[in-house]
Structure 1
Amino acid sequence: MDPGDKLLNMGVLIVATIVVAKLISLLITPRSGKRLPPVVKTWPLIGGLLRFVKGPVVMLREEYPKLGSVFTMKLVNKDITFFIGPEVSAHFFKAPESDLSQQEVYQFNVPTFGPGVVFDVDYSVRQEQFRFFTEALRVNKLKGYVDQMVAEAEEYFLRWGDSGEVDLKNELEHLIILTASRCLLGREVRDKLFDDVSALFHDLDSGMLPISVIFPYLPIPAHRRRDQARKKLAEIFASIISSRKSGGTTENDMLQCFIESRYKDGRPTTDSEVTGLLIAALFAGQHTSSITSTWTGAYLLCYKEYFAGALKEQKNLMQKHGNKVDHDILSEMDVLHRCIKEALRLHPPLIMLLRSSHSDFCVTTREGKEYDIPKGHIVATSPAFANRLPYIYKNPDSYDPDRFAPGRDEDKVAGAFSYISFGGGRHGCLGEPFAYLQIKAVWSHLLRNFELELVSPFPEIDWNAMVVGVKGKVMVRYKRRELSVN
């Protein structure tokens, strides 16, 4: 036989052997029967890491039209399955912790919050600690906090002159941390230790980097400063707690609520736990409130019709209540509430929510497709993307607070979990009422006491921040005046 023919026959034999082996494998290997979601095409080994780090929302915008509302991306050694839209997100928000857990995916918070709290304890203990938050944010407590919020706003804006220009973003960041210090951390911090504690919180905050999510204990300078700040904060609050207990004094703040909290077995909270819970509360609220306050102002100053509507509401309330502002009056500000809610829809500070799947489960899309989600997947949803779905929201990229007005209620028409800026279900944000009251207290004061004009371009989104906010300065020209009710 010709050598060329021998080579050809050998090649055919090899190909045939491979084909037969593959057929036999398919016949004898049991099929899983799982209807797995479509998979994003990624690089070997690193998967979609580069695309994810570059911007998960950009990735979602590219893949959602092609793959639909449920799809999986490999990220190094993990599979992340994304749920987009209320129809597939119900299990994400309603599943018990035993099925979908927060603890594993948020472990990077432990060095910042400290030991023995939130994500460093098992679920039963975490549930009791969340109960402490709930009790600290009851209406009777919120009413006292509002009085402090209003007083802080009044005092802060007295520093402004009769006219001038300010960076609104910077101003609101300062005011929110002052308010949070008084309502959450306590009078001792606000009156005597604000500068020290604020600097320590800055070091804590600066120690929360993108690399921290993957390597929270990496020995880098930012992490060392974080750990030193955490230790000093613990010492400061231990001293304050001891002073309150020994002096028998009490205050209307979250610190006092945590000091007085008891677990079901009667055990009181430790000083370390109180400090950790306070840090967690401040981290949950400070950035989100200042960011949302800034976006609310930027939109109001660009959309004159909504600004006029918010002013008219303030005039009506002043005719009814005079210059008084308290919890109940803030609760009547429906127009301002919708303006804040719409800013939050467009710019939720937390753009990704994550869970770790401990069991297999099934989801059904709006189109009726069923997918099986395997145990071990990281499950994710994105408020920043889901809040702009065009089949839920008309002109979803436009600022339109009236979409939440009675009769339209666009966030309710498509069902639960159509609006997820504050999460939802079992893990919905406990601080939502506090946040709205805080932002209303700020903006009701500004609307009543100043003429305002945005003089810089409309701000861009800072996608590089851990908590996504406003990029650059937001320059506003102001002129002091009292709002006329006539």
Structure 2
Amino acid sequence: MGVLATVTDAVSVHLGDKPLWLAVSIVAGATLTLAIVLNVLSQLLPVRRKGSDPPLVFHWVPFIGSTVTYGIDPYKFFFKCREQYGDTFTFILLGKKTTVCLGTKGTDFILNGKLKDVNAEEIYSPLTTPVFGTDVVYDCPNSKLMEQKKFVKFGLTTEALRSYVSVIAAETKDFVANSNWFKGSAGDLNVPKAMAELTIYTASRSLQGKEVRAKFDSTFADLYHDLDMGFTPINFMLPWAPLPQNRKRDAAQRKMTETYMEIIKARRDSGKTEPEDGETDMIWNLMNCEYKSGQTIPDKEIAHMMIALLMAGQHSSSASISWIMLRLASRPDIVEELLAEQKAVLGADLPELTFEDLSRLPLHSQVVKETLRLHSPIHSIMRAVKSPMPIEGTPYVIPTTHVLLAAPGVASKCPEYFPEPMLWEPHRWDAEDSSKYSKLKPIIAANADDDEKTDYGYGLVSKGASSPYLPFGAGRHRCIGEQFAYVQLQTILVTMVQTFKLRNLDGRKGVVDTDYSSLFSRPLTPASIHYERRVNEKA
């Protein structure tokens, strides 16, 4: 305070009769300059750093720290810091010391952390609660979340997944035939916008049933987009801020909650406990579920769980199928390979797709895998530190004042696991070991052999987080919709390949840049490609 007072006094000597606003501006500027100088000196002077602290990434402005650099391109930031500091380092993210642990060991350290040591709810609740609603996901104790996951697994059984293939295929065929996105025999398509609409239709129809799907049209898809905009980084700190996108988010949340509540009320009023046509959807299931305490799920919680389920079933799939389409447009040869595979395996007449067919189309599966490898939907997974955590093999102990950050997508872009890692090449996953890209296979096989499973309260799931390919996370918060995502993406892919030839717009090579402005990574819009409808391809 003495230094600040001296600076303020020195500045005031030169102000004279200047206006108050100018005086305030000069003092504020001097204070900021002093803060920056002191912050830089504190990092440059040979002050002894605690041996247990990871190295701190150099930054100029206090509080802001590395927020801007990280936010523009997280992976570029991670790799640059890794080169300078190693796999473990700390950076300032909006005033919070955030410790990053890269590599497969770092991912395992964070994602398999014990409940007494790490906490996800404290990090994500401010962001997700205004979007999903109260008392679900991260707005409830972890034990309750595990019960909710168990309820939702009703719609993710093998039998359920088998039934979804035909409805997802039908929704996709109807979309490419009748939506305004595909006009005429050929044209240009803004992929992210179109795929966002398609995936909300496929997710709502398969996961939530005919009645919910009937509520969704392009207008409702826009409402969903408003809700989705609540996942902006600023809402980690200011979810209550009266920003335009937050007002739209809140209005969309109320409208979607009301829509689900109306469906639930009508069913309650009917006195029925199951549908007359026998097609039991997720709402029917949740209406008949009880927590371990014996309490039935309140209707508002059902509505909020349905919003969370829809976003889980749509959001990452929307970005992923967009990347698949964009990547295929840059490789028309792969598109034709996929069609040839369908004809060779399914038959030249391309009959209706079944769940069993998906496992018989390896190149289709490899296109999905390779795209998820390069374009993992979530680039950063954070946890609050609840007790000091020593990192094995290092002198570091992460204190409770830090946030931990895992970035599984870094390992999937490392040449030690994936030769030419930034090359999109589905054939690197070929079963034959002759491929120059096959270095990964023994690593994946070893991890599969050692893969420990555990039950966090919603059924056995893989505990392992030591694989370099983890697009759906690991540990107790591993995405339970992983298998649904593969079914959804592969089914849409099959239908798109049957229907269209794809290529980049004239003069463009490669794919568009990534938009990291949201919690989820997605293509930077607009991202357009050229499509041409196939004619008599079944012949």
Q: Which digits, 9 at most, give the CA deviation of each residue in 1:286-312, with x for residues without a partner?
A: 232122112112222323453343223
Letter in 1 for 2:53: L
**Unmatched segments (≥5 aa) in structure 1:** 1-30
Cα distance in 2 for partners of 1:412, 1:110 equals 41
Q: 1:34 to 1:117 in 2, by over 3 A?
A: same
Q: 1:442 aligns with which of 492, 500, 503?
A: 492
User: Does the CA contact (< 8 Å) of 1:388 and 1:396 recur in 2?
Assistant: yes
Q: TM-score, normalised by structure 2?
A: 0.78
What are the equivalent positions in structure 2 for 1:167-178 lying under 5 Å apart? 167=189, 168-178=191-201
Q: 2:188 aligns with which of 160, 166, 170?
A: 166
User: Does the CA contact (< 8 Å) of 2:187 and 2:530 recur in 1?
Assistant: yes
* Counterpart residue number, 1:135: 154
Q: 1:345 aligns with which of 369, 373, 379?
A: 373
* Superposed displacement of residue 320, structure 1: 9.0
- Structure 1 outlier segments of 4+, above 4 Å: 31-34
| 1:324 and 2:378 aligned | no
Q: Which digits, 9 at most, give the CA deviation of each residue in 1:169-228, with x for residues without a partner?
A: 333222111112212343223224535543432221233323212100112232222222
| 1:209 and 2:232 aligned | yes
Q: 1:449 to 1:223 in 2, by over 3 A?
A: closer
* Counterpart residue number, 2:467: 417
* Counterpart residue number, 1:45: 62
Q: Which digits, 9 at most, give the CA deviation of each residue in 1:270-329, with x for residues without a partner?
A: 111111111112222323212211211222232345334322321122229950212121
* Superposed displacement of residue 120, structure 1: 0.7
* Counterpart residue number, 1:391: 416
Q: TM-score, normalised by structure 1?
A: 0.86
* Counterpart residue number, 1:23: none
* Superposed displacement of residue 438, structure 1: 1.0
What are the equivalent positions in structure 2 for 1:45-124 lying under 5 Å apart? 45-46=62-63, 47-107=65-125, 108-124=127-143
Q: 1:331 to 1:410 in 2, by over 3 A?
A: same
Q: Which digits, 9 at most, give the CA deviation of each residue in 1:374-408, with x for residues without a partner?
A: 23321112234332012111111111223233343
Q: 1:292 to 1:89 in 2, by over 3 A?
A: same
Q: 2:331 aligns with which of 303, 328, 344?
A: 303
Letter in 2 for 1:116: D
Q: 1:405 to 1:92 in 2, by over 3 A?
A: farther
Letter in 2 for 1:397: M
Cα distance in 2 for partners of 1:50, 1:446 equals 38
Letter in 1 for 2:521: V
Q: 1:215 to 1:204 in 2, by over 3 A?
A: same
* Counterpart residue number, 1:470: 523
What are the equivalent positions in structure 2 for 1:246-325 lying under 5 Å apart? 246-247=269-270, 248=272, 249-250=274-275, 251-319=279-347, 323-325=351-353
**Unmatched segments (≥5 aa) in structure 2:** 1-47, 448-465
Cα distance in 1 for partners of 2:108, 2:364 equals 29
Cα distance in 1 for partners of 2:66, 2:501 equals 48
Cα distance in 2 for partners of 1:246, 1:314 equals 48
Q: 1:195 to 1:394 in 2, by over 3 A?
A: closer
Q: 1:320 to 1:475 in 2, by over 3 A?
A: closer
* Superposed displacement of residue 117, structure 1: 0.5
Letter in 1 for 2:515: W
* Counterpart residue number, 2:39: none
* Superposed displacement of residue 452, structure 1: 2.9
Cα distance in 2 for partners of 1:465, 1:164 equals 32
Cα distance in 2 for partners of 1:262, 1:333 equals 40
For the aligned residues, what is the CA RMSD? Answer: 2.5
- Give the number of aligned pairs: 452
Q: 1:44 to 1:449 in 2, by over 3 A?
A: closer
